[in-house]
Amino acid sequence: MNIKSLLLHIAVVSTLVMYKAVAQDKPHVKLALGVNIINNYPYSRLPWAIDKLDFATPFNLGVDYQLDTNWSVGVNVSTNTLKTPKSNASLFAVQADVNYYIIPNTARDYKELYVFLAAGKYTYANTDALIVGPGLGISYWMFPKMAINISGRANVAVKNNSPEVGSYYQCNIGVIWRFTDGF
C-alpha cells in the first residue's frame, strides 16, 4: 500500500470513528469542499508572488466536528500539482486541525472567524514531510446549513524528505455544509 492510500485510509477511518463516537449525541458535523492555491516559491514575499502560485488539481476536502460553541476538530485532505525547478509532481496532504472560534457560532450573525493549528503529512513525488502550522479562516453563512469559507495556513515542514517543496503557504476557498441545527 503506498503512502497516499495509507493516508486516505487513515482520514476515512478517523472520520468514521469521530462520527460513531458522537452518534449517541446530536452530532454537529460539517463537510467542506473547495479548491486551494499553494505558494511553494521559497523566496517570495507573500502575497505578492502571484506568478509563482500553483493551482493544478487543487482540491480540498474536510470534515469538522464542533465540540462546543468555541472549539472544533477536523481532518482535511488536499491535492495539488506543484511546479518546481526540477519537475512537476502531485502533492497530497492530510492534516488534523483544532479550531478556536474568535467569533463563536452563538454570536455568529451570519459570519464566523476562527484560528486553527494543524498537523499532518504531505507527499510529493516520492518524498514526504511532516507539517505543522497555524491558520486563519472566515465563514459566511448564506443559509442556515451552507456557508462560503476562505482559510489560509502556513504549513511548516518539520521533518522534510523533500528538498524541492519544504514549507508552503496554502489558501482554501470553498463551501461548508452543516448537517444539523445548533452550533
Q: Which residues are paired to 145 by β-bridges?
A: none
Instruction: Please tell me the predicted confidence (pLDDT) of residue 135.
Output: 96
CA distance 174 to 146: 11
CA distance 145 to 61: 17
Range 155-172 average pLDDT = 82
For residue 172, the one-letter residue type is: N
Render pLDDT for 32-89 as a digit per residue (tens, 0 to 9): 999 998 877 655 555 555 556 666 788 999 999 988 888 999 999 999 887 766 677 8
Please check whether residue 65 is in contact with residue 26, taking contact to mean a CB–CB distance below 8 angstroms. no
CA atoms within 13 A on the CB side of 115: 3
> What pTM was estimated for this model as a whole?
0.78
Measured at the alpha carbon of residue 94, what is the angle toward residues 52 and 92, in degrees to the nearest 5?
A: 45
Quick one: pLDDT band at residue 174, thresholds 50, 70, 90? Answer: very high
Torsion of CA 147, 150, 154, 160, to 10 degrees: 70
Residue range 3-178 forms a domain whose CATH class is mainly beta
Cα 115 to Cα 11, 127, 150, 157, distances in angstroms: 22, 29, 12, 20
Render pLDDT for 82-129 as a digit per residue (tens, 0 to 9): 776 667 788 899 999 999 999 876 665 788 899 999 999 998 888 888
